[in-house]
Amino acid sequence: MNTPPLAGGTAGPDALAPLLAAVLDALRTGALDRGGPLPAGGPTTTARRVHTATRPLLPDHGTGPEAALGPLVHALTQGAADPADPLCAAHLHAPPLALAAAADLAASVLNPSLDSWDQAPAASALEAELTRTLARETYPAADHPDALLTTGGTEANQLALLLARERHPAAPLHVVHGANAHHSVPRAAWLLGLPPTHTVPTPTGTLDPAALHHTLTTLTGHPVLVAATAGTTDAGHIDPLPALADVCAAHGAELHVDAAYGGPLLFSDRRKHALHGLDRAHSVTLDLHKLGWQPVAAGILAVHRTGRLDPLQHTADYLNSHDDTEAGLPDLLGRSLRTTRRPDAFKMAVTLRALGRDGLGALVDQVCDLATTLADKIHDHPDLTLYTRPALSTVLFRPTDADDDQVAAVRRGLLDDGHAVLGRARAKGRLWLKATLLNPHTRPGDLDRMLKLVEGHTPR
């Protein structure tokens, strides 16, 4: 076999063009052959199809590019849970914008790595522009806000706990969060060797300031980080940030807000009031692979003061020697715990510039309005029960007469047919179907179809 061509350099585009044509073709036919949001037939059917398309995955003699790329992209596409389908609405699993995916192609071709300037001159300058912009958007009034890129909300929450821990070297940090917090918060405490976290019950779905006050009175004298949530994963609830910030200030506790889901309300003039108080947090998690329509990964941790990031400073002579730094080469290693790191900033920068605040805000409004439309339809439906009015773009509902096992079976039935992908959530002691609406191209008729499918799978 000839040496395979490279993606970059002046010859790269010519090598890529026929391969991209094959990819685009297989993406098109794979989506047509799927014919819905999910492959029908469940895990066995999909695994068998993938096995057939890949067998053997490591042949003694390679198949060459055409015989591998087209069939495997087809298998990947036909077997995808495609968030671009309006009825793929289980999780905070966003359909990426075409623009962002195209930008990510350039990132893959050039393959800059953000651990040193000599691997990423423009990419690192661009990342600095992006983090500055997002830090300013999160903390409009702060003197020196800053932000880091992460692999998502999980890593951002881990870093938030780590940075809080490092501010109190003499005593263990106690982390307090609502029962509504993302599972990555207590897991981060476990990872960091912190004491088990304190969970405040959240019977109404949000963290109650009086309940938080009660918990903090039991922790007087200890360093405490409170983790609040702006957009819970299950229901999209937004904790009462200003009141929580007041309680934290009164107890000398630090505040982290996990806005992995709700953060982009900042772009919407109609909805940013819901995040009032966000900038009183010491750190904020954002996640633009949710309401931000980016390909994974697009996580961000914003901090109110750049000095909060100091504990991440780190030197490895081959990447950021002191003499290189003194000579003016940017020191990037302290911008992450990772070493080799993709230029995830690039697709986000292209998206922010192309859409602007109003374009992003319109997308956020579109999916939140869709959730209101869906909630209205469920409310008016004779056989469905709505959990509550949506605060973001998530709607929980259930067939009124079904028990929890039947609700779970409705979801699995829809998955097995490949007709709709809905999530599930526990709230008020019951199991609910969850529609997480992130697709701005979804129309009210799609929502009618979704509800009809649920009815069709409900035992009567």
Ligand X SMILES: *Cc1c(COP(=O)(O)O)cnc(C)c1O
Note the residues at the interface with ligand X (CB under 6 A). Answer: 92, 152-154, 157, 182, 184, 229, 231, 233, 258, 260-261, 287, 299
Buried/exposed 95-116: b ≥16 CB within 10 Å, e otherwise = bbbebbeebbeebeebebbbbb
Residue 384 beta carbon to ligand X: minimum distance, rounded to whole angstroms: 25
Question: How far is it, in rounded angstroms, from Cα 360 to Cα 263?
Answer: 12
Query: Of 113 and 233, which CB lies nearer to ligand X in the complex structure?
Result: 233
Residue 88 beta carbon to ligand X: minimum distance, rounded to whole angstroms: 16
Query: Of 149 and 248, which CB lies nearer to ligand X in the complex structure?
Result: 149
- Evaluate whether 437 touches 367 at the Cβ level (below 8 Å): yes
Distances (CA, A) of 77 to 3, 31, 40, 422: 28, 6, 13, 19
Residue 229 beta carbon to ligand X: minimum distance, rounded to whole angstroms: 5
Residue 115 phi/psi, 5-degree rounding, is -90, -10
- Evaluate whether 228 touches 255 at the Cβ level (below 8 Å): yes
Query: Of 124 and 436, which CB lies nearer to ligand X in the complex structure?
Result: 436
Query: Of 228 and 414, which CB lies nearer to ligand X in the complex structure?
Result: 228
Question: How far is it, in rounded angstroms, from Cα 446 to Cα 203?
Answer: 32
| Among candidate residues 342, 292, 294, the one with its CA nearest the CA of residue 107 | 342
User: Which residues, in sequence order, are CB contacts of 99 under 8 Å at separation 6+?
Assistant: 350, 351, 354
- Evaluate whether 283 touches 87 at the Cβ level (below 8 Å): no
Residue 421 beta carbon to ligand X: minimum distance, rounded to whole angstroms: 16
Question: How far is it, in rounded angstroms, from Cα 176 to Cα 71?
Answer: 50
Query: Of 209 and 236, which CB lies nearer to ligand X in the complex structure?
Result: 236
Residue 161 beta carbon to ligand X: minimum distance, rounded to whole angstroms: 12
Neighbours of 13 (CB within 10 A): 12
Query: Of 51 and 183, which CB lies nearer to ligand X in the complex structure?
Result: 183
Query: Of 178 and 399, which CB lies nearer to ligand X in the complex structure?
Result: 178
Handedness of CA 82, 87, 90, 94 (dihedral sign): positive
Residue 32 beta carbon to ligand X: minimum distance, rounded to whole angstroms: 30
User: How many residues are listed for the chain in this entry?
Assistant: 460
- Evaluate whether 223 touches 168 at the Cβ level (below 8 Å): yes
Residue nearest to ligand X (CB): 152
Residue 110 beta carbon to ligand X: minimum distance, rounded to whole angstroms: 24
Residue 336 beta carbon to ligand X: minimum distance, rounded to whole angstroms: 15
Query: Of 154 and 206, which CB lies nearer to ligand X in the complex structure?
Result: 154
